[in-house]
């Protein structure tokens, strides 16, 4: 399933979830109405039994809907801050980019490889330090605010290949739109549960004061009334909760098989994911999470996070043996036998994953392999987990100087790294830019930037935008004055030579988009008609056509042909009408367009580039900026010099 089909499927699942939620709320309303009728008929001054009271039903339905709705909105607002909020809900600790724990370094390395290979911003990484069970999850609303969390047990007990398999599985959830659905499920189930929580709270408070009230018959009668109400709310809430958990489980289970298959496709190593599953089944704690919030987000996890009865009706994951056999058809049924203990503190940095896998280390002398530029294939790779891009990412990361990779892992050094990526090859301009950094960020920052200068000069051009991807989580930490100073400095560096290159535009646009998404993770969809964005599409295709070494009009026509509904209405614009200044608002408008429009635009833009069967570095950087602004995670491209 490609990225755009996955987004469409996620929307369908969301619609189904809304329907199931309505049914669960209706069930809760019916239970509440039945309880209200029962209490009404028990009243001493009540006459004949009444089983149908429209007014009472209306009040019950209204009160239930309001309580459930407010509770769901509260939980949604709590979790919409992004994946970090979910990770911290269950006690996650943010992994510092400068951690000295080699197991955490290995984890960061694997996540970096996956991020570069899939083309998404580097997720923030958390460890559930107090959890000995083997488990992990990815959370967030979009690819731009994702977090990946693993338990200490998983970090300690898995090999690098097994860790790769688990992280590949979680990246599948990130790319397939599962994370946002998971957050919605959490909010919905909490909304249904809150009635039961209110009832439990009443019972607990009455229990604490019952001894003091029992001596007074009148008060005792009031206490019994409170107990009855609390018990009724408790039962009503947990009836709804029962169905809510069924919804949570039903929506979650099938997606796990897809994510397992994606992890195998990504790493081309079925032993990684199957080995992780066997270890989870072999250890006594399995994937169990001790934190009290684990059942709330059980559907986020890699494996079943809590014990469940009811014949597995509440199980959020398929049985381990079914998942293993789906990956390893000839599995003999043996789960786990303890391997020889490996002390990671005495492994080499390559084996431990400190600086990349052994494969990538052996290829450091080779430049990343260029991939053929075929527009349909490139667009199909958006959001996909492919082995070719994974290996390419490993090779690229291994070739990046360690000082630059370290700089991505902290907010202050990440800013300096971005400044460094914008330094001109012209020495006079470079000196001017360094003076700007000293003026804006201070002499200490300028001195630290100078210490990166040697490595920046030898950095391969194709590594520049991937480094920005790795730095984004820490750049999103910048707020208010620090953020304003950073963006102002970026703008001054870009315009230091009174011009804007395509790389400078791509970097600045990608950065602006990601910082904007940190504030508003899910902008409102505004355009679902091709005609509404016809002029903007013409600007993008024209801008790329003017970069083509081939006949400009032919390149434009090749792209326009990919949008049949507009083909006769699209006109090649002059370079003055389709420059970077015009491209900026055009991309902003397309960014809030429907997914089918974004997909067609990327296919058409790719055909403009491919009209001469080659892709220049300028074209590639601009194409990646277009994809990033449209929130489409594009893997690295094979760039020609």
27, with CB counted inside 10 A (0-12, 13-18, 19+), is middle
Three-class SS of residue 139?
strand
199 membership: H or E segment, kind and range: helix 178-213
12, with CB counted inside 10 A (0-12, 13-18, 19+), is exposed
- Alpha carbons 20 and 12: distance in angstroms, whole number: 13
Residues 380-411 as b or e (16 or more Cβ within 10 Å = b): ebbbbbbeebbbbbbbbbbbbeeebbebbbbb
- Alpha carbons 296 and 212: distance in angstroms, whole number: 36
Contacts made by residues 85-89, CB under 8 angstroms, sequence distance 24+: 86/137, 86/139, 86/140, 86/147, 86/149, 86/183, 86/297, 86/300, 87/124, 87/126, 87/128, 87/139, 87/147, 87/149, 88/126, 89/293, 89/296, 89/297
Gyration radius (Cα) of the chain, Å:
28
Name the residue among 72, 63, 74, 69 with its Cα closest to residue 232.
63
- Alpha carbons 147 and 83: distance in angstroms, whole number: 5
Helix residue ranges per DSSP H, 268-366: 270-282, 320-327, 349-352, 358-361
DSSP state of 593: B
Tokens of 26: 């209706």
- Alpha carbons 461 and 368: distance in angstroms, whole number: 11
Residue written as tokens 């909010």? 187
Residues that are catalytic: 170
- Alpha carbons 359 and 613: distance in angstroms, whole number: 31
- The pair phi, psi for residue 193, each rounded to 5°, is -70, -25
């Amino acid at each position: 399933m490609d990225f755009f089909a996955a987004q469409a499927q996620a929307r369908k699942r969301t619609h189904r979830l809304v329907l199931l939620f309505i049914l669960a709320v209706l069930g809760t309303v019916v239970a509440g109405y039945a309880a209200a009728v029962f209490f009404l008929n028990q009243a001493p001054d009540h006459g004949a039994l009444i089983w149908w009271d429209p007014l009472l039903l209306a009040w019950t339905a209204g009160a239930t809907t309001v309580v459930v709705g407010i509770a769901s909105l509260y939980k949604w607002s709590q979790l919409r801050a992004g994946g970090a909020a979910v990770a911290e809900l269950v006690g996650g600790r943010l992994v510092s980019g400068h951690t000295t724990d080699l197991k955490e370094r290995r984890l960061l390395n694997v996540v970096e490889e996956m991020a570069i290979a899939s083309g998404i911003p580097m997720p923030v990484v958390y460890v559930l330090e107090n959890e000995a069970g083997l488990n992990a999850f990815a959370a967030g609303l979009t690819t731009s605010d994702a977090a990946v969390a693993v338990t200490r047990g998983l970090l300690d007990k898995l090999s690098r290949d097994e860790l790769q398999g688990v992280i590949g599985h979680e990246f599948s959830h990130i790319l397939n739109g599962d994370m946002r659905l998971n957050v919605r499920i959490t909010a919905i189930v909490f909304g249904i549960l809150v009635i039961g929580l209110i009832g439990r709270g009443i019972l607990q408070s009455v229990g604490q004061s019952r001894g003091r009230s029992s001596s007074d018959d009148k008060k005792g009668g009031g206490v019994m009334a409170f107990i009855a109400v609390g018990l009724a709310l408790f039962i009503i809430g947990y009836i709804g909760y029962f169905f809510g958990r069924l919804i949570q489980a039903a929506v979650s289970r099938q997606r796990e098989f897809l994510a397992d298959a994606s992890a195998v496709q990504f790493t081309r190593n079925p032993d990684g994911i199957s080995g992780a599953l066997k270890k989870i089944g072999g250890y006594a704690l399995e994937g169990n999470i001790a934190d009290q919030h684990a059942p709330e987000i059980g559907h986020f996890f890699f494996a079943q996070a809590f014990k469940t009865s009811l014949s597995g009706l509440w199980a959020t994951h398929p049985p381990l043996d079914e998942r293993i056999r789906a990956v390893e058809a000839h599995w003999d049924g043996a789960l786990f036998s303890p391997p020889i203990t490996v002390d990671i503190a005495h492994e080499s940095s390559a084996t431990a994953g400190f600086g990349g896998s052994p494969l990538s280390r052996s290829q450091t002398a080779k430049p990343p392999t260029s991939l053929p530029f075929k527009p349909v294939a490139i667009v199909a790779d958006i959001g996909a987990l492919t082995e070719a891009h994974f290996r390419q990412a490993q090779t690229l990361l291994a070739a990046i100087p360690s000082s630059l990779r370290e700089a991505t892992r902290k907010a202050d050094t990440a800013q300096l790294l971005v400044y460094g990526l914008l330094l001109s090859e012209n020495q006079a301009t470079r000196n001017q830019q360094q003076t700007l950094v000293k003026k804006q960020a201070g002499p200490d920052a300028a001195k630290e930037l100078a210490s990166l200068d040697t490595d920046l000069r030898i950095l391969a051009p194709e590594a520049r935008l991937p480094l920005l991807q790795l730095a984004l989580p820490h750049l999103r930490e910048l707020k208010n004055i620090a953020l304003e100073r950073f963006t102002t400095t970026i703008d001054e560096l870009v315009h230091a030579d009174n011009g804007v290159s395509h790389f400078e535009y791509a970097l600045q646009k990608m950065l602006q988009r990601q910082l904007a998404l940190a504030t508003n993770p899910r902008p409102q969809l505004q355009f679902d008609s091709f005609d509404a964005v016809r002029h903007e599409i013409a600007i993008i295709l024209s801008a790329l056509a003017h970069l083509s070494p081939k006949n400009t009009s032919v390149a434009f026509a090749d792209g326009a042909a990919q949008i049949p509904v507009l083909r006769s209405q699209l006109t090649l614009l002059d370079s003055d009408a389709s420059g970077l200044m015009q491209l900026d608002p055009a991309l902003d408008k397309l960014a809030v367009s429907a997914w089918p429009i974004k997909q067609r635009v990327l296919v058409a833009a790719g055909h403009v580039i491919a009209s001469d069967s080659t892709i220049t570095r300028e074209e590639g950087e601009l194409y990646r900026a277009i994809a990033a602004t449209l929130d489409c995670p594009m893997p690295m491209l094979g760039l020609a010099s």
